[in-house]
Structure formats: C-alpha cells, structure tokens
Amino acid sequence: MTVPQYSRRGSKYEPRTAARGTDAVRTSAMIASLDAEGRDTVSAPFGHALVELAKTRPDIVGLSADLSKYTDLHIFAQAYPERFYQMGMAEGLLMSAAAGLAREGFTPFATTYAVFAARRAYDFIAMAIAEENLPVKIVCALPGLTTGYGPSHQATEDMAIMRAMPNMVVIDPCDAVEVAQATHAIASYNGPAYMRLLRGQVANVLGVYNYNFELGRAKMLREGEDVLIISSGIMTMRALDAAQALAQDGIGVAVLHSPTIKPLDQETILAQARKNGRLVVVAENHSITGGLGDAVAKTLMTNDVFVPLRQIGLPDAFLDAGALPTLHDQYGITVERIAAQLRCWLDQ
C-alpha cells in the first residue's frame, strides 16, 4: 500500500508531493530497510548473536512487547522457546519483568521499538533497572530516522534520554558486524545497557576494517588531514562514503567511529581533535540536542580544546512522515548532503 507523505498545512493533514529541484516524487510512508547498495548484508545479526550466546549461557533470556518479529528476537524465540517471554503491548511490564528476572540471576534482553522504551517505559527503566544497576539489556529497533512513520515511531531523542540516566550504558552500532559484537559485549557487562538496533537485512560496513567492538572505545577507521568526523550508528557508514567521495577532490576526511555514547571515549576524541587543526564534525542519526554531538562538545570544552566544531544530525523538532530516502535528503543525512555540507564549511 502506498501512503502519501503528509504535512500540517491548512487542514490537519494534507497529502503533499515532495519536490527537489524540478522533479516531484510521491513518497511512501515506509520502506523495509536502509539502503545498502553495493554492500553485503547479514540477516538478523542481533537474533543470531543472541542464539549463539545462549548456547553456552543458560542465563540468557529474551523478552518482547509484541514486537519480537520486528526486533529480530523471533530468531531467539524459535531456538529457545522456553527462554522467551512475550509480554504483550505493555512496555512497563516488559521492563519490570526483565528487572525481576535479573534479580533471579538471569541476563534478560528486552526488545521493543526505541520510542516505546525511551518514552513510555522511562520510569520503569529508571526505578526498576537503572537505580538497582541490574544487568538488563534493552535492545531497541527503529532508532533515529530509520522509519518513515513519523514522530510516533521516530526515536530522535532516545540517546539523550538514556544518556541522562545514571548507570546506563548507551551504544549506537554502525552495522551487522558491530550489532553482533556489541550483543556479546553487553551480555558480559555487569550492568544495564541500552543498544540501538539495526534489524532485518543489515549492511556489512566494518568487516573490511578488521573491526573489533570494545565497550567504551572509539576507533579510527580512516585518516584525513582536513576534516575529522566523529560519528556513530548509520552515520559512520554515510561518513565513510562521503569521505571517499571528497577524496576525489583532494579533501582528506578522517572518520572516528564512536559507537559507545556513554561512557564516551574521551581520551581518543581529545587526542584526535587536537591533531592538525582540522574541522571537527559530529555526525549522528539523532537530534542535535542531547546526543553524541553534545557529549563531544562538552568533552572538548571542559578539557580546553578549542577547535571549529559543527554538527550533522536531526533537527530539534518533530520530523515528517514519508519515505526514508526522501526524509534523509530533506534532513541532510544522505552521503550527498553530508559531502556538500562539508565542502561548504571548508570554503567558509
């Protein structure tokens, strides 16, 4: 079914045509997965990683609030039905039950959509899980602008919410490789963790870098003399592609991937920001308020590192509904828009 993109003009919701230049295109409200042209993909990396863990970890259990199919937890449920709990559409119950299981010695993985965990279940997470520092792993799909369903499903502020919660580790993986590795890492971490989830067919971006996820560590993926991009999540994929495009024009772009938003790898960020007098750009699939950009800015400021700093991210606003390619272009997080923005800043 094709659903028109909507705007709030005149009547409450009017269908509209999204235009760029002289071409106008109809947009659907949702596409199945993120673009990964020219890349290998891995199916349901989180679900398969959890199954692999469960083979030797009888303490691993999975819970979902009626969304196991849409968080790839159904892979685990099929393999270990006796260790899977379907909690229904009740996110507070989901988090409270996970806390109870953790108190009994289990390591629960609780999955839902990021908006439902960050907004609906916040107080349950804070009181039942974070305050007690319990090893509950909250793994959430549709982070940032990875759905076209509008503000009800777009978790543009989830990292800000979770980052402000005491005891909570916050992770924003880039691809299938990192989703699988980070799943193993948080399972071994003795405390609560929130991880953004890329679901379904997930691109393999970091495989060519011989990448190894380490909790709390940022990794340099590419060197460059003109710009340093500090990125997380899918924006690392976009940053690497933009850097490759700009290299053809003789512009050197370094990419520092920072998947752990909290605790932030301040040491590496400071060391890289001090190099070469480069423009520092933070790129994230999140609101420019309260996420990686703010964390990096505070780190630089409180350590007396004064460098040009810019942000590429989502606006501090409720976003439109529509097809993801249209929305990513509209909000400036496509490879082309990132490359153009970097050129503009360098020319100033």
Q: Say how far apart CA 108 and CA 101 lie, in whole Å.
A: 7
Q: How many CB atoms lie within 10 A of CB 274?
A: 13
What pLDDT is stored for residue 38 in this prediction?
74
What pLDDT is stored for residue 39 in this prediction?
83
Closest CA to 265 of 314, 191, 304, 215: 215
For domain 41-203, give the fold: Rossmann fold (3.40.50)
Tokens representing 272 are 């890289």
- 41-203 against 213-347: fold identical: yes
What pLDDT is stored for residue 36 in this prediction?
57
What pLDDT is stored for residue 6 in this prediction?
30
Q: Say how far apart CA 315 and CA 335 lie, in whole Å.
A: 17
What pLDDT is stored for residue 257 in this prediction?
98
Segments making up each domain of the chain, as ranges: 41-203, 213-347
| Count of helices and strands (H, E) across the chain | 12, 18
What pLDDT is stored for residue 185 in this prediction?
98
Three-class SS state of 191: coil
Crossing angle, helix 335-347 and helix 234-247, to 10 degrees? 60
Tokens representing 327 are 């929305």
Residues of the chain with pLDDT under 70: 1-37
CATH of 213-347, one of 3.30.70.120, 3.90.1150.10, 3.40.50.920, 3.90.600.10: 3.40.50.920
Which tens digit of pLDDT belongs to each residue from 154-203?
999 999 999 999 999 999 999 999 999 999 999 999 999 999 999 999 99
User: CA 107, 112, 114, 115: dihedral to nearest 10 degrees?
Assistant: -130
